[in-house]
Structure 1
């Protein structure tokens, strides 16, 4: 009996059952209803429901097309995130470089501005000095003392009396000058013309401790206008004179009495 109860029902057969229905007048009527459904029909219904996504397995396991679409979307999102992060990093580096360059330009501008201000101050000072020198030259030219001759940036005094070399130099120093120093060809021609009536003491002497010719201002002898055979071997006792008939330098003994030429630099 129990086996019959748990036996699998045969759903492929038709089933007939009787149903008693009460009508309005209280009479009962028995009707017979035939059910034609079969398990095949039931299976078809379930198949239709599953094909429309109604089955429980469908909810847990999406179709392969949906899974591929989801993966592609996730991959695209990851790529977009990577590109955004890369762009942010590159922009950050770029702005850092721009800021560094901007700071450098600011520093350079500050340095240039400071240099310009310094140059402006120096320029103003130089202009003032040039103005003072011009005024001084004007005053000096106007106040050229009697008996002096101006050439270039110096005054020259030609004596009319004769003295030794040391006494001649002492006279020039008392006048605020010194014996003439000849630095170039033009000055040599001027002194030659100034001393055309004799040989005058000039500021050239032999420094015996250093064994070399020097000018009285301490500068070395660079331009030389010696006459033939000059200077002599015992030069330490023979200062220079100017000039002979050919306009060349000669020598005279220290204690000889000669005329002299003084030079005072005016600027």
Structure 2
């Protein structure tokens, strides 16, 4: 008891009248640690508020800890969810791109195969055309050789054509450069041992058609003895004819002799060869003589 009395005798008595004085009393206690501090009964009214404040603080700390503890796994799960969703979307996009590229690849392969088929077909046709052309060239060369050989044989048998004359088949042809009537032209041919040309075939007509553009000459065909009854100068009748359209028309009833009118360019199509036209025998024009073998 004496010790307690001494302690209390040495303790400085501090009166705390309210909650606001609690802090002041706490500071006084720490400023005089050796002396000690005694709080009077007035601070008892603040104890419940102090306990409530401390409890509330502890509760806040506990709630904050709980929230933090719960939020961390939630954030991790949400982040994992987002990553998983993004990965799934990217995977689907890549899968779609892959499928599209696969389809494009298959389409390109089909087109390539079609092009290869077309190329092989064209190559085959080209080879066949080349072979055909080679065969035609060989045939042409063979025919040309035969023609040359026949012409040489004919020339050897019949002799060469006189100067200024042209050979076709077994005949020689002379194309005049001056103009005369049909009768005068025939007389000139006869003096040269020939007569006006007699056309007996399409080949001979083509040969005469190739003599040039704007060519007009007498041929040995006339109906002067009987109108409409055409005869060659050798007395034979005309079986192969090449009259121009609308001919013969015997204009003014005086056209009894035949002229070869070659005044269009037929080099592009030798099938267009009709060129005969009846004219008055008194017309002056060029002529063609034909010398046939005896």
Band the TM-score falls in, shorter-chain normalisation: 0.3 to 0.5
TM-score (norm 1): 0.46
